[in-house]
Amino acid sequence: MIDIDATPFPYPFAPGTTALVIIDMQRDFVEQGGFGASLGNDVTLLHTAIEPIAKLLAAWRARGWPIVHTRESHKADLSDCPPAKRLRGSPTQRIGEPGPMGRLLIRGEAGTSIIPALAPQPGELVIDKPGKGMFWSTGVHEMLHAQGVTHLVFTGVTTEVCVQTSMREANDRGYDCLLIEDATESYFPAFKAAALAMIAAQGAIIGWHTPSTALLEALPPN
């Protein structure tokens, strides 16, 4: 085990059994013309997370450690997208409607693909999730258990929605979770700050958080 300098206290990192999780770094959230933009958000606010995630990806790949990519997406017939989700709010376009990158958040459409800078490589898990959390209706817990994974390092977007939801789900399943501060972003900076505070409150009630430099500098040689 390696102790990583983190908030609220050092995170016990387990080399080889710690998976890097990259939540929803897909075109529908990060690029213009996608679902994130349809909600009226400035998608460029998410771009600062890309380089830190890429550095973590390179570190994990160099060591042959497990990597998980998620994509929020739905079946073409929307049978896994309840009205309580699809009809919420007043976006310019709703889930399933056609956009510049195909139907929004529909599997197989261009918008659901992970951005090229972080594209998965063979052997890395790619999970299509119909909900905000990565464990709901995906089977990823069983996949991680089969690989002996006990710890999860979280990155991706958005901090307070899909990242935090997935981290809370992981905590309930017994994983020790670390969120990388500069490798996650939100359309609302105040929401990101609040999510970090909630995660680490009461003695890491959900998990820990730290900057990518603290983690990368502490990793064992590859």
Confirm if 140 and 53 have CB atoms less than 8 A apart: no
Contacts of 18 (CB under 8 A, 6+ apart): 65, 66, 149, 150, 151, 152, 153
What's the distance, CA 52 to chain centroid? 13
Reading the block at residue 58, the tokens are 């390179």
Nearest to 111 by CA among 72, 79, 68: 72
Of the residues 81, 129, 177, 192, only one is catalytic, namely 129
Of the residues 28, 81, 132, 162, only one is catalytic, namely 162
Query: Is 24 a catalytic site residue?
Result: yes
How many whole angstroms separate alpha carbon 81 and alpha carbon 219? 40
Query: Is 162 a catalytic site residue?
Result: yes
The pairing of beta strand 208-210 with beta strand 11-13: unpaired
How many whole angstroms separate alpha carbon 177 and alpha carbon 204? 9
Query: Is 129 a catalytic site residue?
Result: yes
How many whole angstroms separate alpha carbon 151 and alpha carbon 14? 7
How many whole angstroms separate alpha carbon 105 and alpha carbon 129? 10
The catalytic residue positions are: 24, 129, 162
